[in-house]
Structure formats: C-alpha cells, structure tokens
Amino acid sequence: MSKAKSQKAGRATGKPSATPPAQMKMREPASLRKRATRRAQARKKTTRKAAPVLARKGNSSTAVARSNHNLPDALKNFSPCDIAIMYRPQTPDAIDQARELASWLQEHGYRVYSAPGQQLVRGCKKLTRRELDEIDWLIVLGGDGTYLRAVHLLEGRQIPILGINMGSLGFLTETRVEELYKTVLYTIHKKMQFRPRSMLKITVTRGVKSKAGKAKTTETFIALNDVVLERGSTTHLISLAVYSENQLVGEIKADALIVASPTGSTAYNLAAGGPILHPEVHAIVLTPVCPHALTTRPLIFPDDQEITFRLLTTDKRAGLTIDGNYCGEITTEDEVTVTRHEQEHFVIRRPTHNYFSLLREKLKFGERD
C-alpha cells in the first residue's frame, strides 16, 4: 500500500495512520506563501533598523535538544496525531484562518478537534472532556484572552499550546499569522522548543470561620496569569490579612490585591506598578492596587510557599477574579490560598526566541521617546 493510501485508510478507520503524519512531506498552501511573502516585504520596508545581535554558540537543533531535556515523556516524544484548534470568537479573520488550517491538517492525515462552542470544517470532532485526554497539541488563533481561555480548557493537562496572534497585544500569542504554517511545520518536525510556565493553584475554603456550624466547602481553580481580590461595587477599601506559611505577613488595606505568576507579571500586575519577572523565575508577586498606606509595596515570594488571604472587615465583601474571569465573592468566613500548581504549562517557542526582545517589541521596554 502506498503512503498516501495508508494515510487515507488510517483516517477512514479513525485510527492513526501507519506512517506518522510528521514524517510526511508537508508544505504550506501556495496562496499563503505568496501572501506571506508580500506581507514580509511590506513589513521590511517599514521596520526600523534593529539593534545588533550578539553571536550565539551552537545551532538551533542543539538549542532545542538542550531546552527539551527535562520535559515530560509525552513532550520528549512529541509526535502529534490529534490537534485541537481554538479561535477568537466573533472575529471573521480568526475563524477563516482556523478553518483553513483545519482543512490543511486533515488533508495531511491529522485528526482535528474544535473547541467547545466552535465549528471548524466537516470531519472535525467536538472537543469534550474525554477527548481532552487524547489530544497532543492545541493551536490558538486570537489574542492573549483567547490563549488564557485555552489554558483553562486544558484544566492543568500538560498539552502544549501554540499561540497565533490575531488580537492586539499578543504577548502570549507571539507568532505572527503570516508565519502560521511555517511554525506549525517546525513544531511537527521538532524544530521548536517547549518552554515551561508556572501556574497558580487557588483554593477557596468557605465556612472556615462560620459561627453557624456550617460545613466547610472547597473550590479549586487554576491561573496562568493572576488572581485578584478586589473591593465590591458598594465598598471603598478592603482589608486583608496576608499569611505566608501560616506566618503573618501583614494587613493590607487597598482597592485590590493582585497575586501574579511570572507570566502574569506583565499584565495587571505591571499596570499596578508591580515588577516584571522573567517567565521562568520560580516566584509569586503580590501587588496592592491603590493601597491606603504608602509603605505597602509589592512583595515577591518563593513559589514553594503557601500564601493565604483572609478578609478582615465583616461588613464588606471582596470579589475574586482569576485570569480575568469573575469567580464569586469572598466573605470573612472564607479563606483563599495560593501556591504554585503542581503541573507546568508549556508554550511553544522558536529556539531563537528572546524574552527581552519581546519586552521591547510589545511593551516598548527601555524606550525614551
């Protein structure tokens, strides 16, 4: 049987083909190559002269092997067959690109899944909780908000995500849409890096100080960026007691309190005056928003510590927001605990990726005019 017939037979039976799709000779569609070339030429004309780059020792394949050395086994032996695609809702360009990509992947023997509530093309499966354990890779077309939704969809599973920027800032979705197919091919042929990002585990225990004898209930959440405890619409300031490993850090009165991971340090934390952390630093940053006391400053904790928060004022409530999603109210009977999640999230990056170049490009870091 020929390789092409073997691929078709595999798709017809719903089983992986005899020849792994990654071994096939794949090229991006010709129309897209021409379009990408025109865009690249236009961008070259308008791009400012870049600062000189120091020479790097070794080649890209060496860098990939070195960076992927401590990966989970599933990523060390990365050979995707089942790929999920999530696009930015109500964005025609993102929807069209997602459907075009889905068709292209299917033509090359891959099983493609659409995110819940989204539609791709005929032959794509709907991604359910059971299928989440089957997929090897998730491709996101949108902005950072879409990327965060994808992370929450995975519920802590170590499935790598490739972010294609079709939003505005694109700090997490770093890859340009013009480089979509080239980057997908590089990933399939093991020319990309899987970079770890720590996540936060949030545990909300309700009824800790209940005087009515109510049973305790516990809710658990995951955050890639941040957790925010903020004042309600009818309150002025909230007062929170902060503990690290059951030791009192202090009592903070502010409009809100941000608990950010290194990845989230460039989001709300940065806007509130918090520090930028390199995404692979093992730390958690705590930043007050408009604190009552000028001596209340941001704090950086080791991420192996358990940080606990309790609301002090009985007549007030605080809102709990995780990665931009409102998750309910916190009262004086509740306790919020934040620590590093036991699982890491993996982003897909080129071996030449430079975090500081990203800071300069996206946040204009260090610019004076």
Q: List active site positions.
A: 144
Decide: residue 113, CB within 10 A, 0-12 exposed, 13-18 middle, 19+ buried: buried
Rounded Cα distance between 97 and 346, Å, is: 23
Residue among 108, 86, 107 nearest 24 (CA): 108
Rounded Cα distance between 115 and 140, Å, is: 10
Residue among 364, 331, 334, 227 nearest 289 (CA): 227
Q: In this structure, how many other beta carbons lie within 10 angstroms of the beta carbon of residue 296?
A: 17
Q: In this structure, how many other beta carbons lie within 10 angstroms of the beta carbon of residue 31?
A: 9
Residue among 242, 256, 251, 232 nearest 329 (CA): 232
Strand partners, 327: none
